[in-house]
Amino acid sequence: MAQPKKAASIWDVARLAGVSHQTVSRVVNGSPRVAAATRDKVLDAIAELGYRPNRLARSLAGGAVESVTVLTADTSLYGPEAALRGIEKAARSLDWSVQISVLDPADTHSDADIVARLPRAGEPTIIMAHDEPGMRAKQVLLDTQPQAMVAIGPYTAEELAASPWLVGMDDGKAAAEATKYLLDLGHRTVHHLAIPTSTGTFGGGKAHRAEGWARVLREAGREVPDPVPSGWTISEAFKAVQPLVADPSVTAILCGNDNLALGTMRAAHLAGRSVPGDLSIVGFDNTPFSAYTTPALTTVNQDFESVGRGAFELLRHRVDGSNPRPKPSWPEPELIVRETSGPPRSRS
Amino acid sequence: MAQPKKAASIWDVARLAGVSHQTVSRVVNGSPRVAAATRDKVLDAIAELGYRPNRLARSLAGGAVESVTVLTADTSLYGPEAALRGIEKAARSLDWSVQISVLDPADTHSDADIVARLPRAGEPTIIMAHDEPGMRAKQVLLDTQPQAMVAIGPYTAEELAASPWLVGMDDGKAAAEATKYLLDLGHRTVHHLAIPTSTGTFGGGKAHRAEGWARVLREAGREVPDPVPSGWTISEAFKAVQPLVADPSVTAILCGNDNLALGTMRAAHLAGRSVPGDLSIVGFDNTPFSAYTTPALTTVNQDFESVGRGAFELLRHRVDGSNPRPKPSWPEPELIVRETSGPPRSRS
DNA sequence: CCGAGTGATGTTAACGATCACTTATATTAT
DNA sequence: ATAATATAAGTGATCGTTAACATCACTCGG
């Protein structure tokens, strides 16, 4: 039944309580310099008017910042989605608000476009830098407001050392482990169905997972087959992986993520190849569905939610330096062996 | 290399261009009352300083609103996530910004807590009202700022007529169709693995999908088995559905969403029941993975993204009345028959 | 040749808060 | 009693923008 008139401001509260607006501000912000009696009067007035501070005005006036903007390209991907969840949780616990803005890979964003996403100059920002638009945005903000940005992405130890604004996991190492596991199982080599690289064009930019995989094969003296490029979606993977499942000499495929693995399983099934008998499949990310496919997917667990939280903490540190520089702290990627991987069928 | 000094304001631009700040404002907002020469001067100054308007200040000053807050309980669910994507796209195309705030089902939010999520009183808000916290938030905002809120949720025709702030799909009808389909296939009855109801306690609140299912069974004069309550996650479904898959008299299960269906498929597999031979399974939502499970899941497609876009348009209409009252326009839910459903094995 | 109309700018006052001071009152020390 | 010091509350400026109104220089019709 509230009249849709207009919200109460700090002045309305002050008038009703018979004090100055500044005193109201003190009460709202929990200043100790206010008499108990006055505080109660103000609190009553606040309750009666249903007053609540306008955050916009607050941050305009130079109060606490209390907001983060997340720039991401693909919210339907499990990784970014989980990381976003982590950011949101961490932010909420401190009463920060979270804005999201999606970078559409379809349209080309000028640098100005990207910056225009932010509600104001210097807005604290977290970028999901796992693909081309994300990398682009990362670069723009790095040039514009390096102190108020953090990027989430895969990294190598050297990259992390060089980039105090980077948070993420060592994808290369995780991929290496998974590859080693398959080799130890007795596979002659391991094929790779790869997620798009950060530059969009395969072979161009960084591809941490692919690099880790290739390194292990090289070190083991095995043949390094050409990685097969795929898009992010299951259906793209399904199409891309066809030549691999059709080739009986392929006995193990490391997939760039669980979506790709699911597409691969389906393709293998339709091609009449049994998993893991004829073909071992390993995914990446430990997406919720991966434990419930049949056969259940062997994959690499990644705690994206913790990474998101870590990114938020780092950002907070960089923006106001209040909290101590947080150390990245989350479980290392870990191989979870389920049912889609096994030794190759002994040949001849 | 930008000095992290401080962002340029409209005054800085004005000074550099040798005009008043208001003229800059006119240029920025595309007012026609500005001489071409002046406009150019201002534009140059803007470019030189890298100026961009501060949205906070803008909306404080009574400018266009340009922001929506989305209140949701579970971003990991496909429906809300897709709807959020739709909202974000629609918002972005109009240069609105999107805030999200997650209602944690774990903690109990007081009404004040919920309102405190909003950056300011009267903030345009979209609520995902598919569970208890969402319904609660819906009610609070309905009391507080009915003009600036829209809820997304399942509805029946009557509910929609009564609630000009509601957007969503007719889940009951969709569930009815799926049930009818299974009955037509020859199943004696259809069991139901149900998502949590909007009040959290099963049997309490609305459960549109369950109602549609039950109605069809009743109308067909079939036995209406007790629906089996499940949580939202695959693992909860896997546990909850055990009695159903263990019972050989159960030949068809309508699942409240595709996650539950996946859990059911897995449970059926482990129980040694073949799908669809021994057991038909139908899901809900047409989650991306559903086409790629083996066997591929029969499910009900829902265009959540369009619903999200519709919610945004409706909100915009309600907030400023500028655009015409949008009519809900998106595809009806549609049954997609794939491989998990078929006629029951002829008994005896 | 002058008042009205028009187009391009400038001026001032919000918007809703915080911050840095200043002032008034109460308490304590000398 | 008086100065020194806390403590409580008020005043005014400020943040970056927009809205509303004021001003100024022209042009035009009578």
Q: Are residues B72 and B46 in the same domain?
A: no
CATH number, domain with residue B152: 3.40.50.2300
Please state, in angstroms and rounded to a whole number, the distance separating the CA atoms of residues A347 and A32.
79
| B59 is a domain residue | no
Examine the domain organization and report whether A71 and A154 are in the same domain.
yes
Nearest CA of chain B to the CA of A147: how many Å?
8
Find residue A69's DSSP bridge partners. Answer: A99, A125
The reported pTM is 0.91
Closest chain B residue to A55, measured at CA: B119
C-alpha separations of A107 from A102, A132, B92, B93, B119 in Å: 11, 12, 12, 12, 30
3-state secondary structure of A167: strand
Min Cα distance B328 → chain A (Å) is 24
Query: Closest protein residue to D8 using CA and C1' atoms?
Result: A34
Contact call for residues B300 and B284 (beta carbons, < 8 A): yes
How many Å apart are CA B313 and CA B317, to the nearest integer? 6
A345 lies in some domain: no
Same domain, A297 and A176: yes
Contacts of A2 in chain B (CB under 8 A): 143-145
> Is residue B337 assigned to a domain?
no
Residue B104 lies in a domain: yes
Same domain, yes or no: B190 and B98: no
CA of A32 to C1' of D3 (A): 27
Which residue is the nearest neighbor of D14, CA to C1'? A61
Structure tokens at B145: 């700022």
Interchain pair A121, B2: CB under 8 A? no
B4 and B39 share a domain?
yes
Query: What is the per-residue pLDDT across A28-69, written as a single tens digit (0 to 9) for each?
Result: 998 888 899 999 999 999 999 989 899 999 999 887 778 999
Q: Are strands B252-255 and B191-194 parallel, antiparallel or unpaired?
A: parallel
Residue B202: pLDDT band (50, 70, 90) is very low
- Report yes or no: B179 and B217 within 8 Å, Cβ to Cβ: yes
Q: Are residues A309 and A298 in the same domain?
A: no
In DSSP terms, which residues pair with A166 in a beta bridge? A151
The Cβ of residue B63 has, within 10 Å, a number of other Cβ atoms equal to 13
Tell me if A336 is assigned to some domain: no
- Over chain A, what is the mean pLDDT? 90
Q: Is the pLDDT of residue B205 over 60?
A: no
Crossing angle of helices A78-93 and A304-320, rounded to 10°: 50
- The closest alpha carbon to A135, from A168, A157, A158, A161, belongs to A168
Comparison of pLDDT for A95 and A228, the residue scoring more: A228
Judge if B29 and B85 occupy the same domain.
no
* Nucleotide in closest CA–C1' contact with A42: D9
Q: Looking only at Cα atoms, what is the longest distance across chain A?
A: 93
DSSP state of A260: H
> φ, ψ for residue B149 (rounded to 5)?
-145, 155
Residues A113 and A84 in one domain: yes
CB-proximal positions of chain C, under 7 Å: 7-12, 14-20
Q: Which of A54, A57, A294 sits opposite B294 (nearest CB)?
A: A294
List the single best residue of A46, A51, A54 to mutate versus B (max B Cβ within 10 A).
A54
Both tokens of A4, joined, read 């849709």
Q: Choose among A55, A81, A99: nearest Cβ to B81.
A: A81
In this structure, are residues A84 and A308 in contact, taking their beta carbons and an 8 Å threshold?
Answer: yes
DSSP 8-state symbol, B272: T
Measured CA B174 to C1' D27 distance, in angstroms? 70
Percentage of residues in chain B having pLDDT higher than 70: 95
Q: Please state, in angstroms and as integers, the Cα–Cα distance from residue B110 to each residue in A53, A85, A132, B115, B147, following that order.
A: 17, 22, 42, 9, 21
Check A97 against B98: CB less than 8 A apart: no
Residue A262 pLDDT: 98
Average pLDDT over residues A121-130: 92
Q: B148 vs chain A: nearest CA distance in angstroms?
A: 10
pLDDT digits (tens, 9 = 90+) for A158-201: 888 899 999 999 999 999 999 999 999 999 999 999 999 876 54
A29 contacts: CB under 8 Å, gap ≥ 6? none
In percent, the amount of chain A with pLDDT more than 90 equals: 71
pLDDT of B1 above 70:
no
Beta-ladder partners of A167: A152
**What pLDDT does A201 receive?**
46
Q: At which of B287, B302, B317 does a domain end?
A: B302
Strand A97-102 vs strand B97-102: parallel, antiparallel, or unpaired? antiparallel
* Residue A321 pLDDT greater than 60, yes or no: yes
CB atoms B54 and A100 under 8 Å: no
Q: Under a CB-based contact definition with an 8 Å cutoff, are residues B212 and B174 in contact?
A: yes
Which of A21-25, A219-223, B328-332 has the lowest average pLDDT? B328-332
In this predicted structure, the answer to whether residue A242 has a pLDDT above a threshold of 90 is: yes
What backbone torsions phi and psi does residue B92 show, to the nearest 5 degrees?
Answer: -65, -40
B212 phi, psi to nearest 5 deg: -60, -40
Q: How far does the CA of B70 sit from the C1' of C6, in Å? A: 46
Looking at residue A30, which CATH number applies to its domain?
1.10.260.40
Backbone angles phi, psi at B282, to 5 degrees: -125, 135
Distance, angstroms, CA A148 to C1' C15?
A: 27
Range of the domain at A18: 1-51
Nucleotide nearest to B35 (CA to C1'): C8
Q: Do B46 and B98 fall within a single domain?
A: no
* pLDDT tens-place string over residues B32-48: 889 999 999 999 999 99
pLDDT category of residue A3 using cuts at 50, 70 and 90: very low
Mean of the pLDDT values across residues A258-277?
97
Query: Chain A: nearest CA to B1, how far in angstroms?
Result: 6
What domain count does chain A have? Answer: 3
B230-269 residue pLDDT tens: 999 999 999 999 999 999 999 999 999 999 999 999 999 9
Residues of A in contact with B4 (CB under 8 A): 145-147
Is B346 within a domain? no
Same domain, A27 and A92: no
* Structure tokens, A31: 């200043």
Integer angstrom CA distances of residue B340 from A306, B209, B280: 36, 19, 6
Please check whether residue B58 lies inside any domain of the structure: no
Q: Give domain status of residue B336, yes or no.
A: no
Task: Tell me, yes or no, whether B128 and B78 share the same domain.
Answer: yes
Are A227 and A192 in contact by the 8 Å Cβ rule? The answer is: yes
What is the CA A24 to chain-centroid distance, rounded?
Answer: 40
Q: Report residue A207: phi and psi, to 5°.
A: -150, 80
Return the pLDDT at A106: 77
Which tokens sit at B44? 């140059």
Distance of C1' in C10 from CA in B39, Å: 16
- Same-domain status, B278 and B181: yes
Taking contacts as CB-CB distances below 8 angstroms, the residues of chain B near A262 are 289, 292-293
pLDDT at residue number A245: 97
Mean pLDDT of A109-118: 83
More confident residue, A252 or B324: A252
The answer for residues whose C-beta is within 8 angstroms of residue A4's C-beta and 6 or more apart is B145, B146, B147
Grouping H, G, I as helix, E, B as strand and the rest as coil, residue A281 is strand
